[in-house]
Amino acid sequence: MPILASDLERDSALTLSQAAIGCEFQIREVEGPACRQLRDIGFCEQMRVKKLTNGRNMLCTVCGTKLALSKDLANQIRVVPA
Tell me if the pTM is above 0.85: no
Between 3 and 34, the more confident residue is 34
The domain spans of the chain are 5-81
Q: What is the pLDDT of residue 13?
A: 86
Q: Computed from CA positions of residues 36, 40, 44, 50, in that sequence, does the dihedral angle turn out positive or negative?
A: negative
Q: What is the pLDDT of residue 10?
A: 45
Q: Per-residue pLDDT for 8 more than 90?
A: no
Domain 5-81: state its class.
mainly beta
Q: What is the pLDDT of residues 34-64, one digit of tens each?
A: 888 888 888 889 999 999 999 889 999 998 8
Q: What is the pLDDT of residue 7?
A: 55
- Taking a C-beta distance cutoff of 8 angstroms, is the pair 13, 73 a contact? no
